[in-house]
Amino acid sequence: MISIFGNLSLILALLFCLLQSIVPLFGAWKRNPYALAIARPAALGQFIFIMMAYVLLTIAFAVSDFSITYVAENSHPALPLMYRLTAVWGAHEGSILLWTCILSVWTIVFSIVEKNNPSLPIVLSVLGCISLCFLFFLLLTSNPFLAATSQLEGKDLNPLLQDPGFVIHPPMLYTGYVGFAVAFAITQAGLITGKLDANWASLTRRFALAAWCFLTFGIALGSWWAYRVLGWGGFWFWDPVENASLLPWLSGTALIHVLLLVEKRNCMKGFAALLALICFALSLLGTFLVRSGILISAHTFANDPMRGMFLLMLLAIVMTSALIVYVIRIPSFINNSPIYFPLLSREMSLLLNSALLLVAMLTILLGTLYPLIIDALHLGSISVGAPYFNMVMMPLTCIIMFFMGVAAFSRWQDTFNKKIYFNLLKNLIVSVCFACAVLIGITNSLNLTALISLSLSCFIIINMLGTRKFISGMMLAHLGFAVLIIGIMLSSLLNIESNVRIKPGNATHIGPYQFFFVDTESSNGTNYRGIRANFEVIKNKNHIADLHPEKRIYIVREMVMTKVDIHPGIFRDLYIALGEPLDQNYWSLRIYYKPFIRWIWFGAAIMILGGLLAIRQRKQITITS
């Protein structure tokens, strides 16, 4: 029954989506207010039936209805209820349904928040066209309600995804991805109606900021999940799927900066519209990379080339249509008179940082797609990994950070005077001296990369705190980025790793900490069995913590997993991962001492708060003006 009603819900959602996407466009063409008025109720109908389909699939997982193939492939009666509920998006079909659900939520949010906006019907129509594509994709190639052809007992959820981080990471990441669809739809509506003005820029920027906040949260959660679950002690390893989430984040950051130029100076409209298109194209590209089967990763969900071709066709159709509208309409918005910005003005700072962010995005895009293109053309096989990305991104990041620091002193339509130059030089010297003192004090050496990064981070913080009379969203976001870079640099520079062979009753040291191996005991869950090692951490004869890393075997999939244990702190983490059992009761063990690692996620949290504050400030400015 769930399968039948689930399919019926998707079909009804598709019918409402057809109304939402086609009728308002016809109304705009014929200037028919009744046809335009169809947009909101049609969007509401689509939302109701999409949510109904999602709820039905969730119920199927909750009751272990293995008459549905998707449920049988990704659940098991022994799976804890929390993971049965989150297994809804644990594989390809459910993740696409979640994507479509979130798009319908964004659509309803826009229709409520902007109910009096004259462009509302056109925006809802564009969003309806996107939903239409994904609903066709669901029904034709990725239906999560297909009935099982034989009785199945359930194959369990991938153990990598049986973690609290997985409960919130994909929804937040998808909310960020899909949020850029709203900015894209607003821009397409502006192009269609010929109204790329300050009001368009303000509206687009608010929704782009909201999407950016969710995407930042999703990326931060993904790095936290990788740190805790994969057992290697790192938070980012330039996996192509990780890169797929970083691409729209970089272009979205550039978009937010350029939209401020449009709003304040009524220029760069074409560039902003193009960036809005690029952001959504990269979100679709990320969906294609993760679910086409062309990538092998712990994050990927599909290995069906036919689905990949369908997604590629969807990406081509949506982007080609959008580009056609852009090419036709953008000449009318190009300012034929030359635009002059003083070299060190706020306008030039925004434009330079946007250009650098775009270059960084293109650099990562090249490193991600180049191996795939080479392989597709049968020209060999190459691997582009962390050394390439670190080499090309480090100088770009440093340049961006320098201009972020300088931007604190910039003013609209104004250049710097001698006093500002003096303050910049003074703050830069102070930052370098402080960075040298910190590095020499904690490492007794000077690493050039760490010195530059830490100096620029301090430069941003000093300039922001010293020049701002009130806390702005931009200020908080830049401060958060500086804190994040400090966390990355210091955790990488000061990280200590120890691989040891140890048995119960023995101890090992790392830094000032002693890890005493107490004993081992069985650790069995509803769908796994395992061994838990008990360690006591001591520093200067004082008890610090008890750590309990585990080695688990998930019974259904017969998959071995390492469950790390971490003692967190503001200034350091103690991280322990249990390896393989050896002879004579010995175990292999990996221990990490990771200073300042938490500052990475602390910095990301500050950035998100900055984005939320910027949304509120822009809304207040719009209302008061």
pLDDT of residue 296: 55
Residue 223 and residue 323 share a domain: yes
Within-domain flag for 153: yes
Residue 256 and residue 280 share a domain: yes
Domain range holding 240? Answer: 165-332
Within-domain flag for 410: yes
Max CA distance (Å), the chain? 83
In 3-state terms the chain splits into helix, strand, coil percentages (rounded to 5) of 65, 10, 20
Residue 169 and residue 130 share a domain: no
Q: Report the candidate in 301, 205, 214, 274 with the shortest Cα–Cα distance to residue 249.
A: 214
Question: Residues 6, 11, 14, CA angle at the centre, nearest 5°?
Answer: 130
Task: Give the number of other CB atoms < 10 A from CB of residue 179.
Answer: 29
Q: For residues 252 and 605, give the distance between their C-alpha atoms in angstroms, rounded to a whole number.
A: 18
How many domains, the chain?
4
Residue 468 backbone phi and psi in degrees, to 5: -100, 130
pLDDT of residue 621: 47
pTM for this entry: 0.93
End-to-end CA distance of the chain: 55
Strand partners, 153: none
Total number of residues shown for the chain: 625
pLDDT of residue 622: 46
Residue 181 and residue 144 share a domain: no
Residue 443 backbone phi and psi in degrees, to 5: -125, -10
The answer to whether 408 and 424 have CB atoms below 8 angstroms apart is no
Which pair of tokens denotes residue 435?
């960075």
The answer to whether 547 and 576 have CB atoms below 8 angstroms apart is yes
Residue ending a domain, among 467, 490, 517, is 467
Task: Give the number of other CB atoms < 10 A from CB of residue 413.
Answer: 12
Within-domain flag for 532: yes
pLDDT of residue 92: 85
Within-domain flag for 476: no
Within-domain flag for 437: yes
Within-domain flag for 145: yes
Within-domain flag for 624: no
Q: Which amino acid is at 367?
A: G
The answer to whether 322 and 156 have CB atoms below 8 angstroms apart is no
Residue 212 and residue 88 share a domain: no
Q: For residues 486 and 439, give the distance between their C-alpha atoms in angstroms, rounded to a whole number.
A: 12
Residue 178's alpha-carbon distances to 105, 181, 184, 281, 596, in angstroms, are 10, 5, 10, 11, 32
Residue 143 and residue 1 share a domain: yes
Residue 350 and residue 322 share a domain: no
The secondary element (H helix, E strand) that includes residue 529 is strand 528-539
Residue 169 and residue 158 share a domain: no
Residue ending a domain, among 467, 484, 514, is 467
Within-domain flag for 618: no
Residue 132 and residue 221 share a domain: no
Residue 412 and residue 396 share a domain: yes
Residue for token pair 């081992």: 520
Residue 397 and residue 294 share a domain: no
Residue ending a domain, among 112, 137, 162, is 162
Could you tell me the mean pLDDT of each successive run of 10 residues in the chain, 625 residues long? 92 96 90 92 96 96 91 89 90 90 96 92 95 92 86 79 86 93 95 88 95 96 91 84 91 95 88 94 84 56 64 84 90 69 83 94 90 75 81 92 90 81 92 94 85 94 81 90 95 92 93 93 91 94 94 90 93 93 92 95 96 79 41
Contacts of 126 (CB under 8 A, 6+ apart): 21, 184, 185, 188, 189
Residue 124 and residue 7 share a domain: yes
